[in-house]
Amino acid sequence: MTNSDQIVVSPVSGARQLALFIRLPRLLYSNLPSYVPPLDMEQKNMLHPKRSRFFDHGKACYFLAWRNGKPIGRISAQVDSLALEQDGPRTGFFGALDALDTQCVKPLLDAAETWLRSQGIERIRGPWTLNPHGESGTMIEGQMEAPMIGTGWHPETLGPAIEQAGFAKAMDLLSYSMEVSPVAEQANSVPANLRQRLGAVKIRGLRKKHIAEDADILRDIYNDAWAGTWGNIPITQAEVQSLLASLKPVLKPEQYVLVEFNGEPVAIALVVPNIFDISGDLGGAPSPLGWIKLGSRILTHDFQSARVILLGVKKKLAGTALSAIVPALLIDELMKRGHTLPYRTIELGWVLETNTGIRNLIERIVPHPYKRHRMYEKTLSN
């Protein structure tokens, strides 16, 4: 390799480089037949320091890899104050790792490690963009499947390159695609007599006149349900409210599934329509006509698929009959709502490979995951 061919990694500086960092994946992967670019606007909401609620409690440094003056890769390194409050090694994270030329993966990871060491971090884990409530993991399987909202896409070469850089597998995150059909609905149906024996169980949707209150209920149940789970970081009130605000143009009451027992909220699921269904043919930066088409499709709710992005059951139900039945009740309700919403498939994603309870429930309907994302980690030496 000549000096002119050397890879240079440098921190992102200025608005122009930040804009390049945000749109770089579609520039790198645009010629790959299995890649569909997300909207730049969506990525900007996730990564821009002035838009992402992550920066209320975290900080990050972005890096670009260059060769011969051309960008060939990117990575983020971030520290979350909420994670540092948890027991165990001081853990920092990397995310937004994208590269087609795998020679730049190790230099990018080295840059992230160096920055995290300067922040007093003892262990690096990722990829998370920018925390577990954004895009999680490197895609290991499922590159040829249809794209899904909130799910990162990576070439098959990226995972092995991370391992070659000295990182070990920490956890696999599994995604399942359920067809909304009478057969699938019957496979997970909760019998009427069992519903009756549950007692005072009520299921309702989102109250658009009380979005802030329903957002707080969602946050409370989710944080309680996932406390102590591998890799979990509590979701903040601002993050939930920002999420619902961003979804407001496409959010329908039926997409919010709340289970109440004796008047108390005990379980929640939030399903969001797959923006790729209506934006995939418009590119990451639509033309003015493209934006008009997108707006029209949103108004008619012209979606075919959706993803469950939040699901949780309060820990107080542990050990009771409800703890085993309520998750099935949530999925049953989602399937039934497929009759009023246009979705043909619903994705259940980010299921930890170690979560055998949820996996057994899902795999009664869908035997195998259709996508797999992998988390990696590494202990940082002084």
Residue whose entry in the numeric block shows the structure tokens 């995604």: 175
Q: Kindly report the CATH number that applies to the domain delimited by 178-368.
A: 3.40.630.30
State residue 37's pLDDT score. Answer: 93
- CB distance 267 to 330 below 8 Å: yes
CA distance 163 to 377: 10
3-174+374-379 fold: Aminopeptidase (3.40.630)
- Within 10 Å of residue 5's Cβ, how many Cβ atoms? 9
Q: What burial letters (b/e) apply to 247-256, b meaning 16+ CB within 10 Å?
A: beebbbebbb
- For residue 352 the two structure tokens come to 């930890």
CA distance 78 to 131: 9
Tell me the pLDDT tens digit for each residue of 136-163: 999 999 999 999 999 999 999 999 999 9
State residue 43's pLDDT score. Answer: 93
- Within 10 Å of residue 118's Cβ, how many Cβ atoms? 10
State residue 113's pLDDT score. Answer: 97
Of 363, 353, 323, the C-alpha closest to 136 is 353
State residue 82's pLDDT score. Answer: 94
- The 3-state DSSP class for residue 22 equals helix
Q: Domain extents for the chain?
A: 3-174+374-379, 178-368
State residue 190's pLDDT score. Answer: 62
- Within 10 Å of residue 143's Cβ, how many Cβ atoms? 15
CA 106 to the chain's CA centroid: 24
Tell me the pLDDT tens digit for each residue of 18-58: 999 999 999 999 999 889 999 999 999 999 999 999 999 99
- CB distance 272 to 307 below 8 Å: yes
pLDDT tens, the chain, 382 aa long: 445 589 999 999 999 999 999 999 999 999 998 899 999 999 999 999 999 999 999 999 999 999 999 999 999 999 999 999 998 999 999 999 999 999 999 999 999 999 999 999 999 999 999 988 889 999 999 999 999 999 999 999 999 999 999 999 999 999 999 888 766 666 556 666 665 656 677 888 888 788 888 889 989 999 998 888 899 899 999 898 888 877 877 888 888 889 888 888 988 888 889 999 999 888 899 999 999 999 998 888 889 999 988 888 898 887 777 777 787 788 778 777 766 788 888 898 889 999 988 888 888 888 999 999 999 999 998 6
- Same fold for the domain at 3-174+374-379 and the one at 178-368? yes
- CB distance 173 to 353 below 8 Å: yes
- For residue 335 the two structure tokens come to 């399937």
Q: Is the pTM of this model over 0.95?
A: no
What is the helix (H) or strand (E) element at residue 176, kind and residue range?
A: strand 168-179
CA distance 305 to 334: 12
What is the helix (H) or strand (E) element at residue 41, kind and residue range?
A: helix 40-47
